[in-house]
Structure 1
Amino acid sequence: MPRCYCLWYKYHVRTIMDIFPKCSVCHQQFVLKGPAPYLLPCLHAVCETCVTSAAAGVISCSTCQREVNLTDTRLKKDAVRQKEIFHLTAKHRPTELLCTHEDDGNQAVCWCRECEELLCEYCQNMHSNFKLTRKHVLQNLSDFKPAVSNIPTPCSIHSHDSLYLFDRRCNILICGRCRFEDHADHEVEKVDVVAESILKQLDQHKTELATLQAHQQSNIQNIRRGTEITDTTSNTLTENIGHTFRVLRSQLDQREKELLNDLEGQTKATKTSLRTQLNTCEEASKKCSEVLHYVTKVLTYASQSDLLELESSVREATRAFLDTAETQTQDIPTAVFNTNGLSKLKSNISRFGAVVTKELKEEYARDRETQTEHDFMAEMEITYEKTIDDIKKRASETTHFLLGLLSECDVHLLKPDVLDKSMVLKCIHLKYDTDIVNLDLTHINTEGDLINSTSDTRSAGKGRLKNYWGTCSTIPLPLADCPQYWETETRVRLDKTLPREILILEVCVCAEGERDMTHYVARRPHAYSLTVRHCPTHKGICRITWKEGEEVLHLPDTIPNTAGASHTLHYGVVYDDARKKIVFIDVKENKVMSTLDNVDSSQPLWPIFGVYGAYKDTVSMRLVVGSDINMTEEKKGMIDKALS
């Protein structure tokens, strides 16, 4: 016999045997002529061998780890599994079934459901010819299917009578004679009535269990999906944390270089000054030595007449030198490394960053409110070098002075007569994140502008945007509890007439997970966006504001759709996490384009910037931030009105 066939046969036999139920104690498969199965209270099966040999009368089910004390529990034979074993044997191992009609050892070929007997070919023919059994339905073993048998069971006491009644008090099946002899005063019902009632209960149990299993399967899918989401979130956060700390390390390295360069410059300047002083002192010392040396010679060699002749010359030379070369004590310059705020910096680093779960969101929000209040007060104290209490006491006297300070610090009061942090507008210092800009479609030039074309030199690196046409800021928007403001100035030159729905630019605020989902984020659920694009509705170039994937407002006729024309688009963005508002402003037209309310700030929001239409136009976007913003009174009034 070929080896491959032997391997297949062994595998086939092992697969068939795996179908048969197993004992929950010894794990041996039940077979038709083996130890009978018994039913445990947990509905698992145990073989007769394990029941009779149970140590100390205790059986432990390995499937559910439940222990059964046989002294307290009387196990019954598992009739259902016995029939299951018989059915599986008939289907998968029919050669083990022998004729039960004559017990002649012949191979059985069919099954009589009415007689509940296995018949060989000879007995099958005889069975079909007898008048009493010729109408019985015979099933070939190859077509054998499980079926419920309702053949009455003979009474063990009255062998000629069948068990067709059920005694509820004794909980046993009885015949008609038993009913009148030993069970006359008991509650008795027909077996079919009781069975029908039990079938209904079992159907109800089946329905309930099926519903429960469906819920469990749904929970399993949700848990598995949660595991996948957790892995995805973990990978994303790992990249974000790595990127954040790379930026921080880069900033620290840059600061270190700046300090070392500053120190080097100061060192060179100091050494140059000291070298000049040294040369001067050495020259003076040389002249002093020469005069002193000659005076010493005069004292040694000069006669009285020589002294009289030389006295005036020596006196004039000495006096001239003493008058012009006055001896001074030189102070050695010293320097120290200023580490003011180092303890606070270390403390901030130890508290920086948090991975916030959904369950901790409310607690995080409460902590955030406390933290931002502290940060705001601390910032005000540092900026103005006064305590907040002192500012409040003298507010009426120092309003104009405070406004001047605010203007110098890129912070503005929207209302001069209101000293309230909700009326403080911060012109924050945003920067393009050069580490993640999509270099496949855009780049940042040497002037720091975002351009809608690829760069001549494209450095590889992990974490770069792959889908979005642009970049975002280096850090998310801080939770300052006061309005924050920045602007973009975009120069657009149309090389061709723009076709249908071509984008020019996008200025947006969105959640971190939305930044690279598609080539622009306006249609994403956690995004608040201003786009400029060709609009098929108005047949021209429109400004469109979006909130959480839905269009809010169309403003047509942004620029003429004419090839060769150049335009400058100047837009401002106000983000107010306290009021949950975002305002888009047209700086050139000096008007509010759109105000978006109920902004979801439960997770950090990132400013994001996109430029589009390569080969059809040239788009160059510049960030206008901090002191570069021209904050006029008219603009402040417009922002105040939009936020009110």
Structure 2
Amino acid sequence: MSRMDTFPKCSVCQQQFTLKGPVPYLLPCLHPVCETCVTSAAGGVISCSTCQREVNLTDTNLQKDAVRQKEIFHLTVKHHATELLCTNDDDGNQAVCWCQECEEFLCEYCQNMHSSIKLTRKHVLQNFSDMAPTASNIPAFCSIHKHHLLYLFDKSCKKLICGKCRFDVHADREVVELDVAADTVTKQLNHHTDELSTLQARQQSHMQSIRQGTESTDRTNDSLIETICHTFQSLRSQLDQREKELLIDLESQTKETKATLYAQLTTCEEKWKTCTGLLDYIAKVLLYASKSDLVELESYVEDITRNYLETAAPQTHVVPTAVFNTNSLSTLKSNISVFGAILPRGVDEESVKDKDTQTDADVMADLEMKHKMDLTELKTKIGSDEKHMQGLKTLTDKLNAEIKSLKSCIDEKETSEKRASKTIDVLLGVATDCGVHLLKSEVVDRSMVLKCIHLKYDKDRVNLDLVHINTEGDLVNRKSDTRPAGEGRLKKYWGTCSTAPLPRAGCPQYWEMKSRVSLDKPLTEADLILEVGVCREEQRDVSHHLGGQPSSCSMLVADCRTHGGICSRTCKEGKHVLCRPDTLPNTAGASHTLHYGVVYDDTRKKIAFSDVKENKVMSTLDNVDSRLPLWPMFGVYMPSSGNVSMTLVVGSDINMTEEKKAMIVKALS
């Protein structure tokens, strides 16, 4: 499938657009965003993930992306035609053609009827196999003067008008025919295409020159390494240190040059990609947009194109070649400490070549150097005995240090073996049929061993008058269609409990709940959405939720009168502890997945609730009364306002990351 055949995606949630899905809107950067993201934008700000540009919806009025809507339509017809059904009579038959005038899909029966009815027999019906991306130019009618066509364009208001509007509100404005305005925009878009194509070609040439510069730098580096090594072979005893310095200098300069080139290449590639994206969209506009679309898109495309074109176009990059300076090679012995240098690129190579000539001053310098070397050799022989004795002493100290180091390693190994043995004993003491994790590797005791216990919904106690467990094992906020026989079910609580109470493990126990929530309408009057928590056996069916019960701890999500939105609230022994606002938007159509974790430690007498998606501790409750067994509870609510589905995530199904371990340690500290 080519790039033009790929279904566009929302630049915020990355969900692929579909024909019957959320409508695409056009951001100022010409990237699409779905209607769901527009309506649920946090704080009224949308961040485009393609170009990282933020858009404040309170200051910007987004228009529907008519070009991409038509692109999605044609891609659906081309690749998913078997999924399209007849929309004429909604009879469920598979559609085979499209009527552009009626804007309806037709099955074979409706197609025959359409062609035989006098009112529609002249309509052009397009079979799916013959449809090609073309701009629709069906005339639109004025919203004010219902039966008048929109065939004029007010250049001052930038608005389509009819003939009657021309002599009413728009009498004193500059007005042209729609065909003239559309042709002007088409020419401008073609001009933008030419300019952007030229800029893109320059960017391509610039990237190629940078790549060639990188290759040239590598070749120069290899050549200079060979030259440096050959030059220093005859002087190895005196020039080893200097050689290392030059090689390091060369490596540093090479890395710096390549880093600069790589940064330039990265910048140019980003600009090239941006230019490619704009060209692609203009191509789609020219392919799909109607004349009215062209007029409405002019300012969008004009602004962003002008911004790109006003940026200075890059020039072909030429990287000067570095050279190795061997000037004054004949005087090297007398100037060994300063001989050699890696010269910057661009220096004339001829000006630094050695002339291989020696003057009288050079001869005197050689004799002086030889005399100094002889004196140095004598001093070396005189001090050799002293150095030999010092060497023996140094060797003795080194051996003693190595013996001490070996003893330290042996002690450390014995300590590690004891710690590993202790770790195994602890893990064997708590490992049963559940996932076991060590919260801190350096602390080996039961207080740092986490058990991901295997909780299960008690299907025999589910309050089937209000909720039920579906075939996937999820707790949902709808009553059961059939009520099985048997006693012992909960009568008041909107949910169920676990099959058994929490064990006295002597170490932290952990489980998670993943809940999918969708609202059909906004919540009011402190409506509950879901609840998780623990309570004693006799309190499991006292009320419809745990929030007001003594000897209970819970976290619930509900409409909050205090903050005027949907909040997450924790309660202990019937008292409100903490309220976190903005859990999800309280708007019709809002859909969200909530992922919470619960850790209970009977030794520390603590229970903590965390937000797994945000990796944050929501609330930690201390001094939990665990003298009697505590039962995990799970509740789902609001059947008339939306859907709630809660899944238990337990045991080895829990993804225990290092970040999650750190969050649990923080919650229990």
Q: State the TM-score, normalizing by the size of structure 2.
A: 0.37
Larger Rg computed on CA atoms: 1
**TM-score, L = length of structure 1:** 0.38
